[in-house]
Amino acid sequence: MASIRARQTESINRMLDLNRASGADYGAAWQEPWKVLIYDRACQDVISPLLRVGDLRNRGITLHLLIDSEREAVPDVPAIYFVMPTAENVAKIGDDCARRLYDAYHVNFAAPVSRELLEELAAVTLRAEAVSQVSQVVDQYLGYVSLEDELVDLNVRGSFRRLNDPAASDASIETLLDSIATAIFSVLATLGVVPIIRCPRGGAAQMVADRLARRLRDALRSGAPSFADGSGSSAAFQRPVLVLAERSADMAVVLQHPWSYRALCHDLLGMRLNRLQCADSAAADDIAGAAGAPNGGKRITHAYNLEPSDFFWRAQAASPFPAVAEAVDAAIQAYRVQVEAINAGNANGAAGGAAGRAACASGGGGSCDDLGESTRQLQAAMSALPELQERKRVIDMHTNIATALLHKIKMTGLDSFVSAEEAVLARSLSAADRATLEELVTTGAAGTAEDRVRLLSLYFLLSSPPDAELARLTAALRAQGADVRPLAYLRTMAAFRTRVAMAASDGGKAKAAGGVMNSVFNFADKVGVGASTRSLTSTLAANVKQLLPAKRETILTRAVAAVLEAKPHADVDGYLTVDPRVSAEAHAADPSLARRGPFREALVFVIGGGSYLEYQNLLDYAAQAQGGGRRVLYGCTELLTGSELLAQLAQLGPAT
C-alpha cells in the first residue's frame, strides 16, 4: 500500500497538468504554459499541506484564487477548477463562463458529482454559450486531506455532534453518512485498494460500511480504473483490512491532555493543516506585553509549516515534551560544532592559501599542492553552507515552537493536569492522588475552566466515581463559571449504555445491541487502557522534565491489533465482516466468504473525530508488532483537540 500523501500529491499534479497521463510527454503539459487555479475553501485545505506556491509555479500555475472571491478576466489562459460538487460552485462556474473570464475551463470535482448537478452544469454553460470552452469535467476522488504518509483528515466538521444530535433530521444524517462514505471511498480510489471491511454492528460505522461496500461493488462492476490494479488473485491475498470505528467508543483519548510534541502543537498552538503560529522565542518574556520590553512589548508571531522533510519534526513529533526540549538543545549544540569546524577550516584554508600562493609563485611545487588542498577546503565549506542554513532555519523554528509551548505549559500548569490524568489512566489513584485531583478541579488555581472540565470528564469516564462525589465536583466547576454541559451529556450517554447492557443481559444476549452511542467496543472496557508499571505519587511534578507518561495501548489500538492478527478478542468478536469483492447476495448466504485475516496492512477510520494521540498509538503498535511488517493508515472525520470535542459535547448536553 503506497503512501496516501504521495499518491494524492501525484493525482493533484496530474490534474494541474490538465489530467494528462503521467507517462505522457512532459513537454506536452507546457503547450499551455500558464494556467489559473480556482478552488473553494475545502479544496484549498486539500492542496495546502501538499503543495507550496513554488510547486504550483512549477506546474504552470501563475494565479490561484478562491472561487467565491472577486476575480478579473485573464484572457487566453485556461482555468483549472478544483471544487466540491455543490450547487453554489456550479453556479459560479456558469457565471465565470458567461463573463468570459478564461480561455478554457477544466472542471475537476473533488468528490463524485451527482447527475442533477452535472445536468445543471451543462445547462449553465449552454446558457452562457460556452459549451465548447469546457474542456473537461472530471471526478477526481480527492475530497480529503493527507496530512502525513499515514494520516488522513476527511474534513467533515462537527461530525460527532451532527451524528448524535437528537434534533437532526433523518435526511441530514443520511447526507452526513453519505459524505463520510464518499470521502473514505476517495481514499481507497487514490490508493487503488479494495479492502475487507470490519466494523461494530448497528451504529454509524455499519451504516458507513454498507454505503461504502455498495460503492465499491458498483465500481468493480463498472471496471473503474482506480481499482484495476488490485483485481488479481495475488493482489487479493495482500488486500488490507479497513476498520471503521466510532468516537463514542473511547472519548477519553481525545479529552485527556497531551504531552507529546505533535499533539501539544495541535492542542495548545492550534496546528491545522500542518501549519501553526507562535511567538518568537526571543520575545518569550514579552508575550504578555511587558513594559520596557524590546519591540515595545509587542507580540512577534511567526507562521510555520511543519513539512515531512523537516528532520527535527520527523524525529521528535511523537516524543514527550521534555525529550523535545533536550533535542532542541542538542541540535543547537551540534549546529554550533559544525559552524565552528567550518570556520576553523576556512581560517586555515585562507591562511594556507595565502602562504601557498606566495610559495607557489616562487617555484615551490609542494606549496602548490598545499594551495590546491586549501582551495578544496574552501569549496567544501561553501558547499556545506546551504545545508547549514536550512538546518539553522529548522532549529530556530523548533526553538520558537518549543519555547511557545513551554510558556503555555507554565501559564496553565498543564503538567499538573497531565500528572493527575496519568494516575487516572493508570488506575492507581491513591488518596493523595484523589486529593490532588479534587484540588485541581475545585480551586481553579491551575489551568482554565475548560482544562478542569476535561480532567473531571476523564475521571468520570475511567474511574466511575460515586454520584455524590461527581455532583460535588461538578457544582464546584459550575460555581467557577465553567460550562458543565459536556459532563451532563457524558453521564446521559453512560446511563444509556447501562440500560442497553441490562436489557441485553435480561434477554439472554451475549452482546449489547448496537447504536451510534453503543458500539461493540464495550464502553465499560475504557478503564482497561493498559496496566501501568509506574505509580504516580500524590505530589505533582515539580519540573516538567520529570514528567514522562507511560505508554499504553488505546482501545482502538487493541481492536485493530486483534483484527490484524485474527485473534479472538472481546473488542472485535462481534464485528461485522464485509468483502466488497463478494456480492451482497453471496455474502448474505454465506458470511464466511469474507476473509477475517490475518492482515499486514490496515486502514483505520474513526467516525466522529480522531486525535493525534490515537494516531501515534497506532503507529507505535505497527512499529512494534510481533512479526514486524505491519502498516496502519489512520483517518478520521476530523482531527479534534480536547477543547473542540468539549464544544461539541456542550451542544449535545442538556442545559444546566
Give the pLDDT band (50/70/90) at residue 516.
very low
Q: Three cell numbers at 328?
A: 532542541
Residue the block writes with cell 468483502: 579
Which pLDDT does position 585 carry in this prediction?
A: 77
Number of domains in the chain: 4
Which pLDDT does position 282 carry in this prediction?
A: 52
Residues 152 and 49 in one domain: no
Residues 127 and 163 in one domain: no
Q: Is the pLDDT of residue 518 over 50?
A: no
Q: Name residue 65's beta-bridge partners.
A: 38
Give the pLDDT band (50/70/90) at residue 21.
low
Give the pLDDT band (50/70/90) at residue 408.
very high
Which pLDDT does position 437 carry in this prediction?
A: 92
CB 213 within 8 A of CB 197: yes
Which pLDDT does position 633 carry in this prediction?
A: 98
CB 269 within 8 A of CB 302: no
**CA proximity to 407, closest of 310, 284, 244, 511:** 284
Higher pLDDT among residues 405 and 282, named by residue: 405
User: Among the listed ranges 95-109, 275-289, 399-413, which one has the minimum average pLDDT value?
Assistant: 275-289
E-assigned strand segments in 466-512: none
Domain boundary among 386, 411, 436: 411
269 located within any domain: no
Q: How many C-beta neighbours within 10 Å does residue 481 have? A: 8
| Percent over 90 (pLDDT), the chain | 63
Higher pLDDT among residues 469 and 225, named by residue: 469
Which pLDDT does position 625 carry in this prediction?
A: 78
Q: Is the pLDDT of residue 231 over 80?
A: no
Q: Is the pLDDT of residue 366 over 70?
A: no
Q: What angle do CA 191, 12, 91 make, to 5 degrees?
A: 115
Residues 37 and 122 in one domain: yes
Summarize the confidence of residues 485-500 as an average pLDDT: 84
260 located within any domain: no
Residues 160 and 235 in one domain: yes
Which pLDDT does position 106 carry in this prediction?
A: 97
Contacts by residues 393-396 (CB-CB < 8 Å, ≥ 24 positions apart): 394/310, 394/311, 394/312, 395/312, 395/328, 395/331, 395/332, 395/335
CATH number for position 84? 3.40.50.2060
Tell me 257's DSSP state.
Answer: P
Summarize the confidence of residues 609-638 as an average pLDDT: 92
Give the pLDDT band (50/70/90) at residue 164.
very high
18 located within any domain: yes
Residues 124 and 167 in one domain: no
379-398 pLDDT, tens digit each: 666 676 778 888 899 999 99
Task: Provide the 3-class DSSP secondary structure of residue 381.
Answer: helix
Give the span between the Cα atoms of 416 and 141, in whole angstroms. 45
Q: In what order do the strands lie in the sheet with 35-39?
A: 61-66, 35-39, 78-83, 104-109, 134-139
Which pLDDT does position 528 carry in this prediction?
A: 30
Summarize the confidence of residues 615-624 as an average pLDDT: 95
Residues 190 and 117 in one domain: no
Domain boundary among 80, 110, 141: 141
Distance of alpha carbon 494 from the chain centroid: 28
Domain boundary among 91, 120, 141: 141
Give the pLDDT band (50/70/90) at residue 288.
very low
Cα separation values, 561 from 375, 591, 593, 620, 644, Å: 58, 22, 22, 11, 28
Domain of residue 435 covers 415-511+527-549
CB 577 within 8 A of CB 596: yes
Which is it for the CA torsion 133, 135, 141, 144, positive or negative?
A: negative
Mean of per-residue pLDDT scores for the chain? 83
Give the pLDDT band (50/70/90) at residue 511.
very low
User: Among the listed ranges 188-202, 323-337, 429-443, 511-525, which one has the minimum average pLDDT value?
Assistant: 511-525
Q: Three cell numbers at 92?
A: 459560479
Residues 540 and 588 in one domain: no
Which pLDDT does position 615 carry in this prediction?
A: 98
Cα separation values, 216 from 118, 196, 221, 377, 584, Å: 22, 11, 9, 61, 11
Give the pLDDT band (50/70/90) at residue 590.
low
Residues 378 and 394 in one domain: yes
User: Among the listed ranges 99-113, 188-202, 579-593, which one has the minimum average pLDDT value?
Assistant: 579-593
Q: Is the pLDDT of residue 343 over 70?
A: yes
Give the span between the Cα atoms of 592 and 184, in whole angstroms. 25
Peptide bond into 568 cis (omega under 30): no
Q: Is the pLDDT of residue 286 over 50?
A: no
Summarize the confidence of residues 56-69 as an average pLDDT: 95
Q: Tell me the residue type at 624.
A: Q
Give the pLDDT band (50/70/90) at residue 445.
confident
Which pLDDT does position 143 carry in this prediction?
A: 96
Q: Is the pLDDT of residue 542 over 50?
A: no
**CA proximity to 42, closest of 242, 179, 163, 211:** 179
Residues 131 and 183 in one domain: no
Q: In what order do the strands lie in the sheet with 145-148?
A: 145-148, 151-153, 631-636, 601-607, 241-246, 196-199, 576-578
Q: Is the pLDDT of residue 287 over 80?
A: no
Residues 328 and 221 in one domain: no
CA atoms within 13 A on the CB side of 196: 27
Q: Name residue 39's beta-bridge partners.
A: 66, 82
CATH number for position 167? 3.40.50.1910
Residues 341 and 442 in one domain: no
Alpha helix (H) ranges present in 222-294? Answer: 233-237, 252-255, 261-269
| Percent over 70 (pLDDT), the chain | 78
99 located within any domain: yes
Dihedral angle, C-alpha 55, 56, 57, 60, nearest 10 ° = 130
Q: Are strands 35-39 and 61-66 parallel, antiparallel or unpaired?
A: parallel
237 located within any domain: yes
Residue the block writes with cell 488518596: 431
273 located within any domain: no
Q: Is the pLDDT of residue 28 over 60?
A: no
555-577 pLDDT, tens digit each: 999 999 999 998 888 878 889 99
Residues 389 and 441 in one domain: no
158 located within any domain: yes
Which is it for the CA torsion 557, 563, 567, 573, positive or negative?
A: positive
CB 163 within 8 A of CB 178: no
Which pLDDT does position 428 carry in this prediction?
A: 78
Higher pLDDT among residues 500 and 5, named by residue: 5
Q: Three cell numbers at 432?
A: 493523595
579 located within any domain: yes
Give the span between the Cα atoms of 139 and 267, in whole angstroms. 35
